[in-house]
Every structure is written in C-alpha cells, then in structure tokens.
Chain A
Amino acid sequence: DAGVTQTPRHEVAEKGQTIILKCEPVSGHNDLFWYRQTKIQGLELLSYFRSKSLMEDGGAFKDRFKAEMLNSSFSTLKIQPTEPKDSAVYLCASSPDWGASYEQYFGPGTRLTVL
C-alpha cells in the first residue's frame, strides 16, 4: 500500500503569498492530521479531521491557516498570507481510526521557506 503522500516536498514563497500544501492519506484511513514542525517548538497540531469532519482547527493557527478535507483521499493546507515565521516543515499524518487504533502514519513533509 502507498503511504502518506505530500506535495510539494519543498516550497519557497515570498512574504504575503498564498501557498497550498497537499496531502493524500493512506487509502482507507479515516483520520487526518496536519502538523507544523520546527526545531524550537517541535510538532504542533494544526488541524485534525475525523471522517472528513474538522475536529481541531489549531487554535492559535486559525487566522492564516486553513485545512480542508475535500474528499476522503485528499486534503489541503492553505497558508494565507505567508510570513517568514511560517518557515517550517509541514507534516501530514493519517490514521485508520485514531481513537481505537492509536496508529498514526506520517508523510515525508513539505519544507516551506518564506522569504
């Protein structure tokens, strides 16, 4: 089976641009997570979907970050407008049923650099 797929792997944006990151979860998985990874803060949860319903919208990340689950096999994370402090690795993860299996599979991530 294919694992979690993320595109692009690298993205460079100018401050103020809109960028869209993409994620395809493992086929059949019901739950999907978006994280931001930095050396200082580690992994921070941005969004959490259960069966395409948004369960967690990231609190402090709400204003410029918007994740959507367009169908069960595709999700996007939009950052609008980008700021230099958004430079990080963005990870997507999926789970067959997080509240039962507690198994979470991560994608390779998208490294975002905002100039």
Chain B
Amino acid sequence: GDSVTQTEGLVTLTKGLPVMLNCTYQTTYSPFLFWYVQHLNEAPKLLLKSSTDNKRTEHQGFYATLHKSSSSFHLQKSSVQLSDSALYFCALSGTSGGNYKPTFGKGTSLVVHP
C-alpha cells in the first residue's frame, strides 16, 4: 500500500533560519502530494499541494517541489518565524484508478525560538 515518511519527531530552530522538512512517499499510482499545518489546539489546514513533477509550489512563504524521480516533496522556508511553530504533515493521494484514499505521514513538530 501507499506510505509517507517524514522527518522524524521534533525540529528546533532559531527565528530567521531556513528550514527543510523531508517527505518521501511510496505509491504505485500517479501521486498528489500535500503539506498540512496544525497549530496547537487547532485543526489541520492545507498549506501546499502538487501533482506536477518538478514544479515549485509556494504559499505563505513555504515552498515545495514534487520530484517523482526521487519520490520526494520536501517542505522549505528560507526564514522561519515564531508563528511557524506547529505540527506539519505530509500526505499523499492517488489520482487515478479510484485510489483516492489519503495517506498521512506521522508529522514533524517545528519549534521556532526567538
């Protein structure tokens, strides 16, 4: 079945530094990849999505590029802010053959210090 692997556990950074959260996936279908962000005591919200190979997608200063050759969709930001402290989930869905079941990674906690 489908699977998503993320950077494990906790990433701690100082404000202003760049960040990259890793996401790799396995699927036999054409993939649609997502990043969701969940702030403390809030619902997850969609941050980015893409199904286009080698095209960068951006939102709220975050960006990611789907690379089908390496099955990766890493999340990056050039300068993190305190408000970026949250739980980040990478997710995958198939786009054909009726395989639309979303599969999530276990999540990566990002903590940004002053």
Write the residues of chain A forming the contact surface with B, with a CB cutoff of 8 angstroms.
Answer: 4, 33, 35, 40-45, 48, 50, 55-56, 91, 98-99, 102-104, 106-109
Contacts and interface: CB of A to CB of B under 8 A. Distances in A.
A52 to B, nearest CB: 16
A8 to B, nearest CB: 16
A42 B43 contact: no
27 contacts: A4-B43, A40-B106, A41-B106, A42-B89, A42-B104, A42-B106, A43-B44, A43-B89, A43-B91, A43-B104, A44-B104, A45-B102, A45-B104, A48-B102, A55-B100, A56-B101, A98-B93, A98-B102, A99-B100, A102-B32, A102-B51, A102-B93, A104-B102, A106-B43, A108-B42, A108-B43, A109-B43
Lowest 3 A-B CB distances belong to which pairs?
Answer: A42-B106, A106-B43, A43-B104
A20 B25 CA distance: 34
Given A42-B104, A102-B34, 10 more contacts: A4-B43, A35-B104, A42-B106, A44-B104, A45-B103, A98-B102, A102-B49, A106-B43, A108-B42, A108-B43
Contacts, number: 49
Contacts of B43: 4, 91, 106-109
Given A42-B89, A107-B43, A98 B100 contact: yes
For chain B, the bracket of interface size reads: 20 to 34
Interface in B16-40: 32, 34
A56 B46 CA distance: 22
A60 B91 CA distance: 20
Nearest to A35: B104
Contacts of B104: 35, 42-45
A59 B43 CA distance: 24
